[in-house]
């Protein structure tokens, strides 16, 4: 069994044209699970989800946006994994999944983190509570809006308390920060003063990594706006 998981900050999905672009790309990428962040959609229904992924074999969970910002949408192929439970927080939505073929039970969390340092403690607490409620294999993907090392942001030369807090969260929950292949900066903005950083990533537990072999985390070419999609590919051992 193989697994293809896509994480993509799309910065808004209200535009039908943009949803059409996403739908065509998902056909090409042949993903099993997709996590959209920053959807900026206040109310999501089945028709909206089908406008993104045309397959009839899909299920989904959503954290709708608040006041035109944020939003996380997780969609998956029901022929690959099935849902058992859902936890929706302020910055994330998590689903407990079971592999249809291998019966492997694990938690998948889609994250769209705050930009405000004052709110990040709430994000780490929220995610830690999910880890405690479901003490099992897991994968967290999305836009955490924070880096781990100064080298992950163009022009950054020193550590900050927020950076240290992110690493503390990862270590305290025994997560593995998967290496990134391809481009070094999934997020970049073309302007007079270019901005680049690695704020999009995947974190997994060692038992998730052990179950799925040959794991790679790749940056796909940028299609719309500032964020490149991240593709996590794994094959069960």
State pLDDT tens for residues 11-69.
889 999 999 989 999 999 999 999 999 999 888 899 999 999 988 899 999 998 875 56
Pairing of strands 105-112, 195-197: unpaired
d(CA 98, CA 178): 22
**Mean pLDDT (whole number) for 104-123:** 94
The backbone region for 99, taken as left when phi is positive above 0, alpha when psi lies in -120 to 50, beta otherwise, is beta
User: In degrees, to the nearest 5, what angle opens at C-alpha 204 toward C-alphas 85 and 63?
Assistant: 40
E runs forming strands in 113-175:
138-143
Provide the pLDDT for residue 4.
Answer: 95
d(CA 159, CA 53): 40
Provide the pLDDT for residue 33.
Answer: 98
* Strand partners of residue 95: 86, 108
E runs forming strands in the chain:
2-9, 33-37, 58-63, 72-77, 81-88, 92-99, 105-112, 138-143, 176-177, 187-189, 195-197, 200-204, 212-219, 230-236
Hunting for tokens 């025994």 — which residue is that? 174
Count other Cβ atoms within 10 Å, centred on residue 81.
24
Q: Judge whether residue 191 has pLDDT over 70.
A: no
- Judge whether 108 and 94 are in contact, CB under 8 Å: yes
Provide the pLDDT for residue 8.
Answer: 92
Provide the pLDDT for residue 170.
Answer: 97
Per DSSP, the residues of 158-205 read S--HHHHHHHHHHHHTT-EE---BS-S-SEEE-SSS-EEE--EEEEE-
d(CA 94, CA 138): 10
Q: pLDDT by residue (tens digit) across 133-189? A: 999 999 999 999 998 998 888 777 889 999 999 999 999 999 999 988 866 677 666
**What band does 130 get if pLDDT is binned at 50, 70 and 90?**
very high
Fold of 2-236: Deoxyribonuclease I; Chain A (3.60.10)
């Amino acid at each position: 069994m193989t697994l293809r998981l896509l994480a993509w900050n799309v910065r808004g999905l209200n535009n039908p044209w943009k949803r059409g672009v996403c739908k065509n790309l998902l056909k090409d990428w042949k993903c099993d699970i997709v996590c959209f962040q920053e959807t900026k959609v206040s109310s999501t229904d089945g028709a909206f989800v089908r406008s993104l992924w045309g397959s009839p074999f899909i299920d989904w969970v959503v954290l709708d946006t608040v006041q035109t910002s944020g939003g996380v949408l997780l969609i998956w192929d029901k022929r690959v994994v099935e849902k058992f439970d859902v936890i929706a927080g302020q910055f994330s939505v998590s689903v407990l999944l079971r592999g249809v073929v291998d019966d492997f039970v694990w938690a998948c969390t889609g994250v769209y983190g705050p930009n405000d340092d004052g709110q990040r403690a709430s994000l780490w607490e929220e995610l830690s509570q999910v880890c405690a409620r479901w003490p099992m294999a897991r994968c967290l993907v999305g836009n955490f809006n924070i880096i781990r090392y100064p080298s992950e942001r163009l022009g950054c030369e020193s550590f900050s308390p927020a950076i240290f807090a992110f690493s503390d969260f990862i270590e305290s929950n025994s997560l593995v920060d998967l290496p990134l292949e391809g481009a070094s900066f999934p997020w970049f903005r073309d302007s007079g003063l270019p901005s680049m950083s690695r704020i999009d990533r995947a974190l997994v537990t060692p038992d998730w990594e052990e179950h799925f072999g040959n794991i790679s985390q790749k940056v796909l070419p940028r299609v719309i706006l500032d964020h490149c999609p991240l593709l996590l590919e794994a094959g069960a051992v």
